Chains A and B, each alone.
Chain A
């Protein structure tokens, strides 16, 4: 269906090809997963299928890409619109119209289908994707998972033979991701649609793939094969594969179910050991929820002078309510974060995680209740003063970066924070070895940009560090680096709060997990207890080794080696 014949792509002005020697075929009706570390050209390969590379992006494509027999050399993207449907990383930038129904019809209108056909297909697609209740809703009012389904629906209505998706679940909470993947499953199984998708969160998708195409490194030739075979040599792999490699299982398990069937022996070996935590044990004691009884909190709230910084929590939120327009985004939220503690905020898209972080840095004003970070009320504190107490790395780290070189950005950060010149640069060197001063922040990869924003925020040495969805678009290697950095910071006594959908990240890092739903705290407790109890927030290792309470492969590895 989709055939790459010795394809290489050079972008204008680039020293090396973006991809080279790509030669594979996606047979009709298969779901093919494209994997690889960041920056190996996955998006380029996907773009070449729809003809956007090189017709839209510029650059030179050597070799030949054909889709359903049409050569992308002679067919522009608009002439391939009836055979390929493409959904990019950000569904919002994909929408042309403003309501769900019109969006589903848009592609068919462009192709000139008869009105009766369009009407029938819109109704069918609404049912297929479970969007019938949303048909008249303005798209901007939908949740992330719903938007992603609308984006998929909008390219499905012209009945393309192939569907190309770039990171369809990266921005979604676990439940919404399941929703989208269930739809893809259905398309492949029931309608025989050919699907090619790229995704970093392999733990979510690898079990659905019929075949995996691995791009091992920039410019390296792709490796193609069955998922279990490719996972054995892939530099990126989900935790369940990691566990399988550790235990020496062959073929490698791809699902929790496969792994559980083989895990009896491993569970026996681990029966006597108990999870040793890589996290600082002393800070764990501090996170004991027993210290969270309401009496000392009320006491803290009454005390107005921040006289004893040791006894004071890094953040104290008391019966907080925040309104956004007519909607109550947060309701009766209580949260205390002590120094050295890492808290993961989890919950659906739109549950109020980002709003809680914004309240902690004073970007939104509480409607009721109080917020104190480092002893001050954040929204009434001057920004210059606040940066020393609390720092937030927003969902889009680019928002924090204004300068056009890394060097200028660092110099500005030193000035903003009144830090010794060079302190930001030292942090960047530590977090991002190999990035030069004259690099443009926009040319950095997603993970590098996050590290730069983190360095900028850390220049002021805030006692409380907040991260909003830090692993979006990061590959496993970048994530591992981030985990190491954040653990180091927690050990130095920084309090860290991260809002995340990434259960594996929460399992690796958090001492405590707080789950929000509809603006309220529904669970708050030690990470192991909270995630183990939840079917959607439990990491893969926990599911495989239940009822034993293991969270990460690292814990298992350590227990086995000792």
Chain B
């Protein structure tokens, strides 16, 4: 048996991988061009294939790919069954239409299925699928638990709660499997819904007991120790955090409404700064230190930057030349590959070359 070998410390800050993949995801939202979208998927798949490690979370990419495929199929099925808002002339097939009462006007089941409608649904579904695949890439490349480690000290306890919740689900699944197998030993069928329901209570009991045991272990290991903080600092923290959040709300409101265009951005920025300062000050209450924190080095800048470049170029291109990134559906036209956006997407391949390859398992 070949045990999984060490992955070592991550070569790149997990946050950089998230920025990279979110950059690609933002790029995907700016276009419906199937060629650009396919290129985005190919880029993310290549980087994942080249740089993912042997760890359990690395396998999530396949799950996300399957989910994306399911989204695409569902979108197409809806377009076929429920019709499409896009007018079209090329009828592919005609389904028998189900007559609906008059109050359901505007809804159609069955009827004509046009090529335009299908292509529109395909483009739309592809965009969503690409988005999901990009998020999946981040999941496969960066350990979610390590990302949470990068949270500011004041949010540390929330982070731990999330990590514990993340490990809770796999344990629960393992418990259900074990207990259903045990039903077989009692001479009861181990399949079927009833079997699942009957193990429900023991599974929850087990999960609760494990959580309590973990809480006891964490308490005994010093989780939740607090440092003494002078009252002035405490009050300042509260004021900064609350004031900052209010500022963020007001600023966002200003940005989104037409009249607030002038004060929106500055208020938002000031609010954000105040909230961050509050968090930083709040971190003083926790005496925690970090063991070998991930460093944000040149590689992290390159990885994150490549994703941001892709997003920025596509956003600008979509604003300047919408037709290239949104190929026409009515009338049907073959999509062309716009060169500049395609080149920007290819920049997203950079991480596959600037980061070191993961250690192979022996």
**A50→B190 CA distance, assembly (Å):** 42
Are B291 and A108 in contact, with the CB atoms below 8 A? Answer: yes
- The interface size of chain A toward B, counting residues with CB under 8 Å, comes to 75
Residue among A76, A361, A412 making CB contact with B185, cutoff 8 Å = A361
**A105→B224 CA distance, assembly (Å):** 16
Are B185 and A391 in contact, with the CB atoms below 8 A? Answer: yes
For residue B184, CB closer than 8 A to chain A, the reply is: yes
**Interface range on chain B (Cβ under 8 Å from partner):** 35 or more
- Of all chain A residues, the one with the shortest Cβ separation from B190 is A383
Binding stretch for chain B, among A134-142, A256-264, A483-491, A500-508: A134-142
CB-based closest 10 A-B pairs: A136-B6, A81-B222, A105-B291, A110-B222, A112-B287, A387-B187, A93-B213, A399-B182, A416-B187, A94-B217
B residues near A94, Cβ cutoff 8 Å: 213-214, 217
Q: Which of A36-75 contact B (CB under 8 A)?
A: 50-52, 55-56
Are B288 and A77 in contact, with the CB atoms below 8 A? Answer: no
Are A402 and B201 in contact, with the CB atoms below 8 A? Answer: yes
Interface residues of A (CB under 8 A from B): 50-52, 55-56, 76-82, 84, 86, 88, 90, 93-98, 101-102, 105-115, 118-119, 122, 135-138, 141, 154-155, 158, 326-328, 358, 361-363, 382-384, 386-387, 391-392, 394, 398-402, 412-413, 416-417, 442, 456-457, 460, 518
Are B179 and A93 in contact, with the CB atoms below 8 A? Answer: no
For residue B321, CB closer than 8 A to chain A, the reply is: no
What does the 1/0 interface line of B236-260 toward A look like (CB < 8 Å)? Answer: 0000000000000000000000000
B residues near A382, Cβ cutoff 8 Å: 189
A residues near B185, Cβ cutoff 8 Å: 361, 363, 383, 387, 391-392, 394, 400, 457
- Of all chain B residues, the one with the shortest Cβ separation from A143 is B3
For residue B102, CB closer than 8 A to chain A, the reply is: no
Residue among A77, A109, A141 making CB contact with B290, cutoff 8 Å = A109
- Of all chain A residues, the one with the shortest Cβ separation from B205 is A442
A residues near B7, Cβ cutoff 8 Å: 136
**A474→B216 CA distance, assembly (Å):** 24
Are B1 and A111 in contact, with the CB atoms below 8 A? Answer: no
Most buried by B among A90, A106, A383: A383
What does the 1/0 interface line of B291-334 toward A look like (CB < 8 Å)? Answer: 11100000000000000000000000000000000000000000
Are B6 and A141 in contact, with the CB atoms below 8 A? Answer: no
For residue B99, CB closer than 8 A to chain A, the reply is: no
Q: With A141-B3, A399-B179 in contact, is A56–B216 under 8 Å at CB?
A: yes
B residues near A76, Cβ cutoff 8 Å: 219
Q: Closest CB-CB distance, A451 to chain B, in whole Å?
A: 16
Q: Closest CB-CB distance, A99 to chain B, in whole Å?
A: 8
For residue B4, CB closer than 8 A to chain A, the reply is: yes
Q: With A118-B291, A122-B291 in contact, is A110–B221 under 8 Å at CB?
A: yes
Are A88 and B213 in contact, with the CB atoms below 8 A? Answer: yes
Are B217 and A383 in contact, with the CB atoms below 8 A? Answer: no
